[in-house]
Every structure is written in structure tokens, then in C-alpha cells.
Chain A
Amino acid sequence: MSPSVPDSLRALLTARDGDGRQRAWTAFLEEHTGFVLHGARHLGGDHDAVMDRYLFVIQALRENDLRRLRAYAADGRGKFSTWLLVVVRRLCYDHHRARYGRPQSSSDDAVARQRGRRQLVDLVSNELGLSELEARQEEVPDEALGRRELRGALTRALGELPPADRLLLRLRFEDGHSVPEVARMLGYGSPFALYRRLDKVLATLRRALEAGGVDDPRP
């Protein structure tokens, strides 16, 4: 069993008889019910709707001889509390689909938001100040090709970034998360560390554009 398994879960998974398992289950719930309720409230709704989801989640965690909880114990990646929030959130969406018969899910929301998202290259080009440069270039008809070249150079430069840096740019500019939010998601120690990384990534892109023949992408 993974060393990250909390004591209450370990006791539950190793309980030998019915009484012991019931006591262990009660202790497990006492410790973690706050997290389950927290996740159940995430989808909104009144008290009854939240409690419906809460009960659904509790039953799902207990079914098939604690199958889901045993899967965490065998895997052990991440803290149990984080894992539990992932599972609770997913179960809540399952409950919503089962009850309302609609394919309402986080994926539907994500697809809708994706349609409205601007492309990363457009957002990063704004951040680098390319829009002003392109506007000046468009004033000269013969220079229309330059605009495509700028975009092409930036797209190539973005493609050459490591996934971690592209992910940082996507979370910040495409998905619109704040610096503290992105710092938490990516495990930076502070927002300041993320600001420094962001500066470096943008500087890398500027240098790539300059190397590609763009003299100064800044207005």
C-alpha cells in the first residue's frame, strides 16, 4: 500500500470483519466528509441537490468492496485529499447525467469555451506587441506578406517551446487564469516565480522572432 495513504483509509481497507469495517468507515467519513461536501457543492444547487450528490458519492466510494479507494491505495500518486476531489467532482457529473439524462458535463462546457477561445498565437502576439507592428506593416500594401511571416515565425517559435512553457502560456493567456491560479496549478512556489518564468518565456519568443528576421517585435 502506498505510504501516502492516510491512516483512516488504511484502517478501512485492512479491516477484517463487518463491525471493524463499519467503525473504520465511520472514522474515514468523519475525517473526509468535509472534502466530499466541498466537491458536491461545486456544481451548485440547493441543499437537497447537494445532499443528493453527496450521498451518491459516498455510495459510489463504498461500492464493489471500496474499489475506487483501493485503486488510490495501489496507485498513491498525489495527496489523497487531491485525488478525492478529482473523484468526487467526476462522480458529481456522473450523478447529474444520470438524474437529468442530459450530456451536461464539464467536457460540454469545455467544448463551448474552446469555440470562443482565441488562438494562442494571437494572444501571445498581443502580449509581445506584434499587433501594432502588423498594423504599421498593413499600411504598406506590399508588406502584407510580412504579417503572415510574423505569425508564421511566432507559430514556429511557440512550437519549439517545451510543453511546460507552452502550457504556462495557454493557462495564462488562452484559458485566462490569473498568475496565482497558474502558479498553484503548475506547482510554482509563489506568483513571483511564475512572473519570472513568464518573462523568460516571452523573452525567448522575442529572441526567436529576431533571429527569424523580425528586427524588433515591440512597437
Chain B
Amino acid sequence: MGGTEQQYHLTAGEIAGFLDADLAPAERFRIEAHLDECAECRDELAAVSGLAHSAPRPALALRRRLVRRWLPFAIGSALAASLAAFLLLRPAHVGPFQSREKLRAPDVREGRAHLETISPRPDSAITASRIGFRWKGSAAVLYRITVLTERGEPVWTADTQDTVIALPGTIALVPGRTYFWQVEGIADGIVSSTGYQTLRVRP
């Protein structure tokens, strides 16, 4: 689809099916093996993924039609009215990984300096008690540390002007579990970040 098919190794359906997880397992395996070998197809996959992520939401008129047509049948009318208001009024351009918070979690490739971590090391397991975090300083007036569960749920957040901080005794991490932690350097916005680091707790 588009030009001569011969110039593309994968069809539009295969690219779309791969991105939308809509392929049979054997077909996905075959396409993964091809993508592993083909930089050109990987570039196309990345470009389309980026386009899909930044694409506009369906037209408001369509949303209104969808709401009017389907919700009263799917659920009770009172709940349908509430959901209709939510669908019609929410902002149109919020992607799955975006946050509405002022200081949203950055991707370290978005032009912010990398903050180097000192401890804990990503390949070490730590005991659940007496967890300390250390990182190298940067041009920041404040550091914000966040600890999250494997599912990305926040466990603890704290601000410090130092480059070392201990997890309070009131925060109990579960032995045997994996968490993530991140430090962001703040100076008139987020200027640096460690990126998400793995935190393994000994059983």
C-alpha cells in the first residue's frame, strides 16, 4: 500500500498489526525476526509508532455520536450521562505516558542532563531496612526523589538539597519485590534526571 509494494518488506497490515498487538503468535515471531535484521523496517515502525502516539483524538462530533449511540445501551442512563460529560470535556491530547503534573517525569533523552547514581547499584539487592540513596550533584537547587512499585505506583516522594537521603522507617518495602527510583534535579524546572533505576529488595 503506497508506491510499489516491492519496496517495503512488511505490509501496512503487518506494521499496524504489530503495533496494535493484533497478530497471531507465529506471525509476530516472524515479524520480530525480520525487524531484528532490518533497520529500515525498524525505522518505519518507530516513525509510525511516534505518529500514532502524537495523533489527534477522534473529532469531537464523532465522540458525541459515539456517546449518544452506545453508552445508554452499555450501562445505566445515569452513569452514561456522567461518562458522557467526562468523554466530551476531557482534553484531547493526553497520551498514555503523559502527566498533567507541573513537573512531569522526563525522559532523560529529552534534552535534560543525566544525573549519575552512586547507590544503590542497579545490579545489587538491598535489605528492606536502612535504604539510602546517593547520587552525584548537578546544577540543581533541589532534588526530588521518587520511589515507585513495579506497576509505577508512587510509594514515596521527597525533596532534598543534599545528594543523599534515606528511606524513612515508616515506608516499608516488601522483601523480594522490585521497585524503581528516580531523582530529578530541579532549578527553574527539571534540569537533570537519573532516569528510572531498578531497586531490588532481598527476600
Closest to A177 in B: B46
For window 82-121 of A, CB contacts with B under 8 Å fall at 82-83, 85-87, 89-91, 93-94, 97, 105-107, 109-111, 113-114, 117
Q: Are B180 and A192 within 8 A (Cβ)?
A: yes
Residue-by-residue, is A176-219 near B (CB-CB < 8 Å gives 1, otherwise 0)?
A: 11111100110100111101100100000000000000000010
Question: Please, which residues of chain B bring their CB within 8 A of the CB of A4?
Answer: 22
Q: Tell which of B23, B56, B198 touches A77, judged by Cβ atoms closer than 8 Å.
A: B23
Determine if B2 and A38 form an interchain contact, defined as CB atoms under 8 angstroms apart.
Answer: no
Question: Digit string of B73-113 for contact with A (CB within 8 Å is 1, else 0)?
Answer: 00000000000000000000000110000000001110000
A39 to chain B, nearest CB (A): 6
Query: Among B40, B43, B48, B62, which residue has its beta carbon within 8 angstroms of that of A82?
Result: B48
Q: Which of B6-32 contact A (CB under 8 A)?
A: 7-8, 11-23, 29, 32
* B contact residues around A86 at 8 Å (CB): 1-2, 12, 15-16, 44, 48
Contact between chains at A175 and B46 (CB < 8 Å): yes
Q: How many residues of B contact A (CB 8 A)?
A: 60
- With A38-B51, A111-B40, A181-B49 known as contacts, the answer to whether A78 contacts B13 (CB < 8 A) is yes
Contacts A42-B47, A86-B16, A177-B46 given; indicate if A81 touches B40 (C-beta within 8 A): no
Q: Among B134-142, B148-156, B167-175, which stretch is in contact with chain A?
A: B148-156
Q: In the bound complex, what is the Cα–Cα distance between A181 and B49 (angstroms)?
A: 8
Instruction: Judge whether A66 is part of the interface by a CB distance below 8 angstroms.
Output: no
Q: Does B53 touch A at the CB level, under 8 Å?
A: yes
B184 to chain A, nearest CB (A): 15
* Residues in chain B near residue A149, CB distance under 8 A: none
Of all A-B residue pairs in the complex, the 10 with the closest CB atoms, nearest first, are A78-B16, A90-B2, A77-B17, A83-B16, A110-B40, A82-B16, A86-B12, A163-B32, A163-B33, A75-B13
Interface residues of A in 20-63 (CB under 8 A from B): 30-31, 34-35, 38-39, 42, 60
Chain A: interface residue total (CB-CB under 8 A):
64
Cross-chain contact B32 with A38 (CB below 8 angstroms) = no
A173 lies within 8 A of chain B by Cβ: no
With A71-B13, A113-B39 given, can you name 7 additional A-B contacts, CB distance below 8 Å? A31-B59, A79-B20, A83-B12, A90-B12, A114-B39, A178-B107, A184-B97
B55 at the interface (CB under 8 A from A): yes
Known: A77-B16, A77-B17, A77-B22. A85 touches B56 (CB 8 A): no
User: Please, which residues of chain B bring their CB within 8 A of the CB of A181?
Assistant: 46, 49-50
Taken together as a complex, chains A and B put the C-alpha atoms of A175 and B2 apart, in Å, by: 25
A149-183 to B contact mask, C-beta < 8 Å, 1/0: 00000000000001110110011001111111100
- Nearest-CB residue, chain A, relative to B39: A114
In the bound complex, residues from chain A placing their C-beta under 8 Å from that of B42 are 167, 170-171, 175
Within 8 A of A (CB), among B100-136: 107-109, 122-123
Contacts of A195 in B (CB 8 A): 180, 196, 198
- Point out the residues of chain B lying under 8 angstroms from A187, CB to CB: 19, 21
Bound-complex Cα distance A163 to B180 (A): 27
A106 touches which of B13, B19, B43 (Cβ 8 Å): B43
Measured in the bound complex, the distance between the Cα atoms of B65 and A30 in whole Å is: 13
A68 within 8 A of B: yes
* Cβ contacts under 8 Å, A82 to chain B: 15-16, 19-20, 48, 52
Cβ 8 A contact of B40, one of A42, A78, A90, A107: A107
Q: Are B196 and A192 in contact (CB under 8 A)?
A: yes
Give the chain B neighbours of A167 by CB distance below 8 A.
32, 35-36, 42
Nearest CB in chain B: distance from A162 CB, A: 8
Name the CB-closest residue of B to A175.
B42
